[in-house]
Amino acid sequence: MANDQTLILASGSPRRVELLAQVGIEPKRLMPMDLDESPRRTEHPRSLAWRLSVEKARAAAAVLKGMDEARGAYLLAADTVVSVGRRILQKPESVSEATAALTLLSGRSHRVYTGICLITPDGSVRQKVVDTKVRFRRLTSHDIESYLASGQWRGKAGGYAIQGIAGSFVVKLVGSYTNVVGLPLTETVALLSGEGFNVHDAWLEG
């Protein structure tokens, strides 16, 4: 049963926790991994999402090694990357960086890649990268200034959170909405189910 199985999430993201709760999954433990997320020279955005997700999963697995709570546990990690072409937009650390990101995204399409990595109880590693195309309407300077004042850009890849005010910026989305939020649910549930994690019992409980 899903609630008899253990999932450890190698992330501290409230958004990922909320998305898992949406499908009846509650991680037993959150383990955010503090890794250098800087892209390597010439690294493609998709490759970066892939690499960081597995590095976070393996880092968490190394910390958990030998601990009782890790026995029989599934370990899930994810990393989301926003890009315009090959240009990667990382989490802005200042208002000026967030302004530059939103200005770049204004009136154009960009891609959101989320790498997901699952380490199963027997140590097998399963990975997938999900890609969503998003187009923003043209943003006015007032749009950008007001959004920055809201603070919703902080800690977000690309400087925005689609589930908040920035949802009003989106004129077209092709692919997974939950991927843009931070965890593609269809692919995550399929990955877990395919490796024997029963996600359905919680649904039957209502």
- Looking at the annotation, which residues are catalytic? 79
Q: What is the DSSP track for 136-161?
A: EPPPPHHHHHHHHHHTTTTT-GGG--
If one counts every other C-beta atom within 10 angstroms of the C-beta of residue 114, the result is 28
If one counts every other C-beta atom within 10 angstroms of the C-beta of residue 16, the result is 24
- Whether the CB-CB separation of 116 and 53 falls below 8 Å is answered with yes
- Whether the CB-CB separation of 9 and 26 falls below 8 Å is answered with no
- Whether the CB-CB separation of 25 and 202 falls below 8 Å is answered with yes
